Amino acid sequence: MTSSFIHPSLFLIAGALLLPFIRGPLRKPYLFLAPMLALGAVVLNAAHSGVFGVVNFLDWQLVLGRVDKLSTVFALIMGLMAVIGTLYGLHIDRAGEHMAAWFYAAGSLGAIYSGDYLSLFLFWEMMAFGSVFLIWFRRGPQSLRVGYRYLLIHTIGGIILLAGILLRYQAVGNITFDLMDVAHPELYTWLIMIGFGLNAAMVPLHSWLPEAYSEASFNGAVFLCAFTTKTAVYTLARACAGMDVLVVLGVIMALYGVIYAVMENDVRKLLAWSIVSQVGYMVAGIGIGTDMAINGAVAHAVVHILYKSLLFMGTGSVLYMTGKTKFTELGGLYAKMPATFFFTMIGCLSISAAPCFAAYASKSMIITAGFEQHLNWASWLLMFGATGTFMYNGLKLPYFLFFGKNNCSPETWTKAGDPSWNMLIAMTLGATLCILVGTAPGFLYAMLPYAVDYTPHTTYHLMETLQLLGFAALAFVLLKKYVEPVDRICLDLDWLYRKAGCGFLWLIKHPLQWCDTAWGEAYRVVGLSSLMTLSRFWSWFDWHAIDGVVDGIARSVRGLGDKVRVLQSGQIQITLYYAFSLTAVLLVAFIFFQLL
């Protein structure tokens, strides 16, 4: 590795491994330090551009540090997110949660910087396995199951990705992670796209996201909302830019998310559906493939991380303080949690692309790019989605959470309040950045991969946005009764594969288990007992046959001696008798043989 490139994941991984040993008053500064170092490394790396960290592994060359504008901008926002997320959860005592989050962030940064598919895959899996703990640490009644489903589907996605990588290696001959030939897609192109797309929650592989993110711990969700999906967006931008099917899929995602979010009762699940919707914009932008579209997708990814994390932080504060996440159990909280309301509102306005708030600078870039490519249907639908976004996220969420009917139980009401200093500071940072990016997006535009000749602060854009927001607000007021949250489960495509999973489990538990039991019994009854019988036979043989001979010889010798002993009496005449008789016999035999 050349000294000019420092891989930020090293700080996070080393930090995670050392964390259990740092206790007491050192813990909080340490928690602040490690992600800061990672962010610092990213900032330093941003000055360079090129390929670093080339490692030779077996037959391949792994590239661990590919620095260019695309990877730099993503790495910067991810590094920043690591800092804000850790700050948000600074007061958590359990080291495991921080370790999981840092491994997750390390995986994401590694994937962003990697220049070859093999190291990408390694970091991809690191992300999956790090993030699942953020769900399990919620320790709710469903958390274990949700985490397992999450892990299962991400493993499947990883396998599909790996299959694509291997097929591509076989076809192309290298593992370089670059733009694929999207004009002539092969099987491996599709597989890689699906692998990336699963992490990006492309419909129909999206169901894991709402379930998992709403079930994550209050601070885990802050990490989760940023890393997995946006790393997937980065990889799609890198490898699949311009793939036409992505436009269709992106639009479907955008609208699908809106529909389900409008129906949703759980606050954080609503936000998760909103992620599906917003990532749809990014995927559509990548699908359009022009410079502006990619710029738009990247910019939208960056701002989305900012405002979504802010939103999750706000709603996470509600969860942390009250323990509740459902609209039907909350409401009217602005009185007790004013600061949280303020920051959440900024997040809501940001996502709605209100003027001078974050998404104002990015969403329209994608839509404009669509119009420029004459993909009018896509752009109109995306605008329609933007309206919907404002309705559920800009209006429904703040209204039913902080105003509206107060559904809180007395103990919920007592527990409600603004959270601790670290959470508030994290939210302040997020909110500030949202407003900054919205009002003066220049510094963001400078980081975008292609040259930007777009400016969001035009009169036309302002008018268009205000019209959108205005009519959406009108629709909300008129249709408030229908938008009111009801405690229900909305069935989604995951019903299909959950049922399939149950069927698979039945198959394992009944027919296959029977086979295994039968085989085990056969082994025990036939195999094992014959072995032991044979062993016991040889043991018997050893004692009775071999030792029978050996000891038998000894016994016979003793028996013979016993008989011969009789010859030995104290009386000399008997001894002489035997001596002379023996001599006589020998003499006769000798003479006999001599004569012969």
Residues forming contacts to another protein in the complex (CB under 8 A) are 531-532, 534-536, 538-539, 542, 546-547, 550-551, 554
Nearest residue (CB) to another protein, 50 versus 527 = 527
Nearest residue (CB) to another protein, 455 versus 539 = 539
| Cα–Cα distance, 108 to 104 (Å, whole number) | 6
Mark out the alpha helices in 357-507 (DSSP H runs): 363-372, 376-389, 397-402, 410-415, 421-439, 442-447, 459-478, 480-483, 494-507
SS3 call for 67:
strand
Query: How many of the other CB atoms lie within 10 Å of CB of 492?
Result: 17
User: Structure tokens of 564?
Assistant: 């011969």
Shortest CB 513 distance to another protein, Å:
23
Nearest residue (CB) to another protein, 538 versus 590 = 538
| Cα–Cα distance, 369 to 365 (Å, whole number) | 6
How many residues are recorded in the chain? 596
| Cα–Cα distance, 157 to 204 (Å, whole number) | 13
Nearest residue (CB) to another protein, 496 versus 531 = 531
> Helix/strand/coil (H, E, C) string of 11-28?
HHHHHHHHHHHCCHHHHH
Q: How far is CA 227 from CA 4, 70, 108, 184, 223, in A?
A: 25, 16, 6, 30, 6
| Cα–Cα distance, 455 to 310 (Å, whole number) | 25
Nearest residue (CB) to another protein, 502 versus 525 = 525
Q: Where are the beta strands (DSSP E) in 25-108?
A: 50-57, 60-67
In contact, 326 and 266? CB cutoff 8 Å: yes
| Cα–Cα distance, 235 to 237 (Å, whole number) | 5
Nearest residue (CB) to another protein, 538 versus 577 = 538
C-alpha angle 287-293-296 in degrees, rounded to nearest 5 = 120
Shortest CB 548 distance to another protein, Å:
10
Query: How many of the other CB atoms lie within 10 Å of CB of 68?
Result: 14
Q: How far is CA 97 from CA 133, 219, 309, in A?
A: 7, 9, 17
Nearest residue (CB) to another protein, 545 versus 584 = 545
Q: What are phi and psi of 184, to 5 degrees?
A: -125, 75
Nearest residue (CB) to another protein, 159 versus 545 = 545
Shortest CB 566 distance to another protein, Å:
23
Shortest CB 523 distance to another protein, Å:
13
Shortest CB 553 distance to another protein, Å:
10
Shortest CB 524 distance to another protein, Å:
14
| Cα–Cα distance, 418 to 409 (Å, whole number) | 18
| Cα–Cα distance, 352 to 222 (Å, whole number) | 19
Nearest residue (CB) to another protein, 467 versus 539 = 539
| Cα–Cα distance, 352 to 394 (Å, whole number) | 6
Nearest residue (CB) to another protein, 532 versus 587 = 532
Nearest residue (CB) to another protein, 549 versus 576 = 549
In contact, 227 and 127? CB cutoff 8 Å: yes
CB neighbour list of residue 359: distance below 8 Å, 6 or more residues apart: 300, 303, 304, 307, 350, 351, 352, 353, 438
Nearest residue (CB) to another protein, 539 versus 581 = 539
With b for 16 or more beta-carbon neighbours within 10 A and e for fewer, the 115-130 pattern comes to bbbbbbbbbbbbbbbb
Nearest residue (CB) to another protein, 376 versus 535 = 535
In contact, 358 and 296? CB cutoff 8 Å: no
In the chain, the N- to C-terminal Cα span, in Å, equals 104
Nearest residue (CB) to another protein, 377 versus 537 = 537
Shortest CB 560 distance to another protein, Å:
15
| Cα–Cα distance, 284 to 200 (Å, whole number) | 12
Shortest CB 24 distance to another protein, Å:
32
Shortest CB 520 distance to another protein, Å:
17
In contact, 383 and 282? CB cutoff 8 Å: no
Shortest CB 42 distance to another protein, Å:
42
Shortest CB 287 distance to another protein, Å:
53
Greatest Cα-to-Cα distance within the chain, rounded to the nearest angstrom? 149
Shortest CB 43 distance to another protein, Å:
45
| Cα–Cα distance, 65 to 127 (Å, whole number) | 18
Shortest CB 547 distance to another protein, Å:
5
Shortest CB 527 distance to another protein, Å:
11
Nearest residue (CB) to another protein, 17 versus 554 = 554
In contact, 194 and 205? CB cutoff 8 Å: yes
Shortest CB 529 distance to another protein, Å:
12
| Cα–Cα distance, 481 to 494 (Å, whole number) | 28
